[in-house]
Amino acid sequence: MTAPLLRPKRKNPVLRTRLPTLPPAIRSRVALGLTAAAARGSFELQVCRDCATVQYPPREACCACLSDRLDWRVQNGAGELISETLLRHSQELFFRERVPWRLGMVRLDCGPTVIAYLHGDCPAAPARMRIRACLDRAGQAVLVALPEKETPNMADDRQLREMTCDPKFRKVLVTDGKTAAGQAVVEAVAAAGADLIWVGHAEPWKKLPGFDRLKAIPQVALLPLDVTNSRSVKEIAGEIGGRVDILINTADHHRNFGIASRHGVETARAEMETNYLALLRLAQEFAPAMRARGADGQSSAVAWVNLLSIFALSNFPPHGTYSASKAAALSLAQCLRAEMRASGVRVVNVFPGPIDDEWNQQLLPPKLAPAALAAAIVKALQDGIEDVYPGDVAQEWLARWRDNPKALERELAAGAG
Amino acid sequence: MSAETLLQLVNAFAAGRIRVVDLTQTLSPDFPQIVLPPEMGQCWPFRIEEVSRYDERGPAWYWNNFSCGEHTGTHFDAPIHWISGKDLPNNSTDTIPVENFIAAACVIDCSQESAADPDFLLTVDFIRDWEKRHGPIPRRSWVLMRTDWSKRTDPIAFQNFDETGQHTPGPDADAVKFLVNDRDVLGFGSEAIGTDAGQAYHLRPPYPCHYYMHGAGRYGLQCLANLDLLPPTGSVIICPPLKIKQGSGSPLRVLGLVPGG
Amino acid sequence: MAVAVPVTVPYARYSIRGAHWFLARVLAELLQRSGLTKDKIEGLCVSSFTLAPDTAVGLTQHLGFTLRWLDHIPMGGASGVVALRRAARAVQCGDADIVACIAGDTNHTDSFRLNTATFSQFARDAVYPYGSGGPNASFAFLTAHYMRSYGAEAEDFGKLCVAQRANALKFPYALMKKALTLAEYLSARPIADPLRLFDCVMPCAGAEGFLVLRRERAEELDLAYARVLATIERHNAFPDDPVQYRGGWVLDCDELYRQAGIPPGDIDFVEAYDDYPVITMMQLEDLGFCRKGEGPDFVRRHSFTVDGSFPLNTSGGQLSVGQAGAAGGFLGLVEAIRQVTGQALGGAVADARIGMASGFGMINYDRGLCSGAAILARS
């Protein structure tokens, strides 16, 4: 059983902060298929379309029949641990700073043998395992062998915590607590054991509901953060930026207009201010300190979460300008992800379908409950997922988009949401 | 009027016989903005972005870009702002005769009443009572409603919202009609975020100060400060808005001239 | 076929030289010892991990050789045996009169990490990101599995390491100069459980080489030579084994002894590939000296020293001499030539008539893919 993680000791502020290092990040292009699936929380291996042989490591042609028709298919990960080692010496800085590492060799039921990180609760070989694909600090997929059944405090495993971004004992900034989603996120990270939750509270004179509930949460501290105001972002970053471990940008400006249904650009501009430029402001002011703290002990800076929208993938004309602003934010989030890479701080993009809030009042169900969205964000942090598509609508849009983006564009243009 | 008069004026400033009082709130991103229902178009708050600050963006100079709505901070309302004034001549910031930007002011002190009741409404009776003590309001002068609201430096207290909306003092409909029709004032000024009261949506007509003042081609001044430094009568205010083509208003610097010691 | 002129360029832990320097030195030594001039070397077979961006082709111009046969063998620990097979065929078929087989690598302070990090596509994609333990981690898996399956104990692997160190103390080029006791072996720091420090080869710089030619030609040149009785090679054997517990030798063992016309019992000494002792134990099984799973018991029954029962890795093997990159795949073969031609630099096996050298190389992913073996006999 994993020993439960204890609250880390307070940092001695005069000691040097260790600089971040990364595990090896280089992969062949074909191996990035594993990463692409792991980014969504899925474990996929190549399967030969012609002879059904499952392949690993990733390759260009089937090792059985030489077919090049290899499709990435979801695997259940069941297998048997056949050997293990406790690695105490490594050639790479990242591992040298963290040895020992427990590694296992697992024969998957579907065929191949994989080398994987071995969770501390896994029994000795031979033993049944389940393999999961996880993103490591370099942002690349690695395989993790877990015990067949859940064990107590599993997420607290030392090696696993080096891959995940669990909010437990971490300090979290939720940039906007005004929205239903923002408030649900605050409650979810509090329940997940966050140490301290700063909640942005712009325009505090607007007495929006829910703040009394937030104030009652012991970890919560309200901040006058207004993401549309560069000076406010700069001031708040100066005040708390060096301590934020997880930044969750919930700021969202959502109006329901296309092009012809609204005169002028004022609304679109407000959407860009909050959905796009605010991300840029936050990134410029908060990212530098977070980058420097990518290896700051047990509770280092680990994640940056952007609340985007499934409309970022393809424009939803009834919410056309909103979709465009989210697409802009997605593009910028990719830039942020690249710039954060060297620090190991993960940029998590969340693509919900319509959230059950006032701005989606006229959309038919299913709609995503704010609490479900928040739960998906926390789970993504705990599981090491980079792209989150919470809820049925997001999953369906994603499937349609991956299948044929042009078809989705036509369907949306025809009014099929 | 002669050159000698102007010279006397300048000398009076120099000698302190005329004091200049700044009636303006500082433009800052932190100053609250008028709140409208979120589905409506919104007036931008004041925002400021550094262009350069002696750095790689401009090694020897510091400057900013700012953005805001016409009705941000201490600002001027032109008649074209309201639908009732939309077809009047000379109704926008670029066409208002410039002599209207310098005028006498009467200050009606409602500070005690406003402290007791944030929904305080200025009535005709209250004005008549003021006139008993200070004489009739001269025509073509500003009427400024002193509430000491500008001393509420906490934006939450300044905006003063509760679940029924905003609660700030202002004139009632009859008072506005009286000032326009019976006193022929140049405009109405207030310390709160609007010339109308916070609950003026429920008056008849809604927002009477906007409706009647602008419908009669008169002006408004909002978010004024330091009205307690002006005498009830005898001051002059200078309030030229930016010359925005077809502008409905503009942030501005408002100066009060008061007799010195 | 004959192999002659066993040459070693002395090993060093680190060198500031390039691989080209080591390969030049081994060629110079081959010419000097054989009395041949450059133009008499018609064929060249090269193995090196650190020659990049060059291959054997670049080396011809770099060192000024004009050749009618050229090969480059990137097979790591199997390079020596495979080079011998290729060269022997070439000479046999008349493609070249004399072929120089050479292997060498330099070792800078970061060479080993760089080589490991980019060793193969599979290693880069599916092994190196997991702790970056290099071959230590890979052999730890094989060792742990082997111990569990066949009851091998740490003392069994230790016995091999201790015996090889005893052999190495007599060998002038061995980098390990201190005696090793079983107690020291067992108390050495753990590297990747169950491996300890002395289970792991030490990367270093160095080079090895020999000449392949017809027997008549060797005699004309008055060179001491060994006869090549048999050779085998195999690649990617048993791909369906979940974990490697046997090598490709299993498939070719019978053929090896058939070619040689001798039974295993006639072998006087064995130079097994030994970057980690588990693979030595597997070779004892897979090359017919005992049955699968009997390796531990076989180890307990023999002494493995040059002067003891079943002389094994008579120069000390890589574990005590050092692993000079691809030259590690030549070390055993070069030592075998020395033993059967009476040129041992260290301990000489008494009346060594027939010796075996085997090779194993290229942990491409989870196992070594190349295996080979050769049996040499006194001329």
Which domains occur in chain B, in start order?
Answer: 18-27+70-259 (3.50.30.50)
Q: Do chains A and B touch (3 or more CB pairs under 8 A)?
A: yes
What is the pLDDT at residue A1? 77
Residue ranges per structural domain of chain A: 32-161, 171-413
What is the pLDDT at residue A210? 85
Section C134-158 average pLDDT: 97
CA of B31, closest CA in chain A: separation in Å?
A: 10
The per-residue pLDDT for range C191-231, each reduced to its tens digit, is 999 999 999 999 999 999 999 999 999 999 999 999 999 99
**Contact between chains at A83 and C134 (C-beta distance less than 8 A):** no
> Using CA of residue A39, residue A45, residue A48, residue A49, what is the dihedral sign?
negative
Q: Are C311 and C341 in contact (CB under 8 A)?
A: no
**Do C157 and C253 belong to one domain?**
yes
Asked if C154 has any chain A CB less than 8 Å from its own CB, the reply is: no
* Of the options 3.90.105.10, 3.40.50.720, 3.60.20.10, 3.90.245.10, the CATH number for the domain spanning A171-413: 3.40.50.720
Q: Are C157 and C105 in contact (CB under 8 A)?
A: no
The per-residue pLDDT for range C50-82, each reduced to its tens digit, is 999 999 999 999 999 999 999 999 999 999 999
The per-residue pLDDT for range C85-101, each reduced to its tens digit, is 999 999 999 999 999 99
CA of A186, closest CA in chain C: separation in Å?
A: 35
How far is C109 from B111, CA to CA, in rounded Å? 81
Q: Which of these, B69, B156, B198, B202, lies nearest to A208 by C-alpha position?
A: B156
CA distances, C317 to each of C76, C295, C375 (Å): 15, 18, 17
What is the pLDDT at residue A209? 81
Summary mean pLDDT of chain C: 97
Substitution target in A203, A205, A222, A272 with the highest count of B β-carbons within 10 Å is: A205
Asked if A29 has any chain C CB less than 8 Å from its own CB, the reply is: no
Closest CB from B156, B160, B163 relative to A204: B156
Contacts (Cβ under 8 Å, ≥6 apart) of C299:
C156, C159, C160, C281, C284
What is the pLDDT at residue A11? 84
Asked if C236 has any chain A CB less than 8 Å from its own CB, the reply is: no
The per-residue pLDDT for range B47-73, each reduced to its tens digit, is 999 999 999 999 999 999 999 999 999
Residues of chain C with C-beta less than 8 angstroms from the C-beta of A136: 129
CA of B28, closest CA in chain A: separation in Å?
A: 10
Asked if A344 has any chain C CB less than 8 Å from its own CB, the reply is: no
Q: What is the CATH number of the domain that holds C41?
A: 3.40.47.10
What is the pLDDT at residue C216? 97
User: Which residue of chain A is at minimal alpha-carbon distance from C200?
Assistant: A89
**Do C171 and C52 belong to one domain?**
no
* Residue B214: active-site member: no
Cα torsion through A350, B42, B32, A281, rounded to 10: 40
pLDDT tens over chain A, length 417 residues: 788 888 888 888 888 889 999 999 999 999 999 999 999 999 999 999 999 999 999 999 999 999 999 999 999 999 999 999 999 999 999 999 999 999 999 999 999 999 999 999 999 999 999 999 999 999 999 999 999 999 999 999 999 999 999 999 999 999 999 999 999 999 999 999 999 999 999 998 887 788 889 999 999 999 999 999 999 999 999 999 999 999 999 999 999 889 998 889 999 999 999 999 999 999 999 999 999 999 988 789 999 999 999 999 999 999 999 999 999 999 999 999 999 999 999 999 999 999 999 899 988 899 999 999 999 999 999 998 999 999 999 999 999 999 999 999 999 998 765
What is the pLDDT at residue B2? 85
**Do C53 and C125 belong to one domain?**
no
Q: Are C308 and C302 in contact (CB under 8 A)?
A: yes
**Contact between chains at C194 and A136 (C-beta distance less than 8 A):** no
Closest CB from B29, B42, B161 relative to A229: B29
Closest CB from C121, C137, C239 relative to A87: C137
What is the pLDDT at residue A206? 85
ipTM: 0.92
**Contact between chains at A26 and C122 (C-beta distance less than 8 A):** no
Give strand pairing partners of C212.
C3, C99
**Do C137 and C211 belong to one domain?**
no
**Contact between chains at A90 and C131 (C-beta distance less than 8 A):** yes
What is the pLDDT at residue B261? 64
**Do C38 and C149 belong to one domain?**
no
Least confident of A288-302, C146-160, C175-189: A288-302
Q: What is the extent of the structural domain holding C34?
A: 2-110+205-220
In a domain, C78, yes or no: yes
CA of A206, closest CA in chain B: separation in Å?
A: 7
Chains with 3+ CB–CB pairs under 8 A to A are B, C
What is the pLDDT at residue A14? 87
The per-residue pLDDT for range B104-141, each reduced to its tens digit, is 999 999 999 999 999 999 999 999 999 999 999 999 99
**Contact between chains at A203 and B162 (C-beta distance less than 8 A):** no
In a domain, C65, yes or no: yes
What is the pLDDT at residue A211? 85
How far is B31 from A203, CA to CA, in rounded Å? 10
User: Which residue of chain A is at minimal alpha-carbon distance from C126?
Assistant: A57
How far is C130 from A369, CA to CA, in rounded Å? 38
Tokens found for residue C355:
């010796």
Residues of chain A with C-beta less than 8 angstroms from the C-beta of B39: 255
**B residues 156-185 near A, CB within 8 Å?**
156, 158-163
Asked if C195 has any chain A CB less than 8 Å from its own CB, the reply is: yes
**Do C318 and C332 belong to one domain?**
yes
**Contact between chains at C192 and A95 (C-beta distance less than 8 A):** no
In a domain, C46, yes or no: yes
**Do C37 and C166 belong to one domain?**
no
CA of C191, closest CA in chain A: separation in Å?
A: 5
| Active-site residue identified among B81, B167, B210, B214 | B81
**Contact between chains at A231 and B41 (C-beta distance less than 8 A):** no
Q: What is the domain count for chain C?
A: 2
Closest CB from A204, A229, A266 relative to B42: A266
Residues of chain C with C-beta less than 8 angstroms from the C-beta of A107: 242-243
Question: pTM for the full model?
Answer: 0.92
In a domain, C115, yes or no: no
What is the pLDDT at residue B1? 64
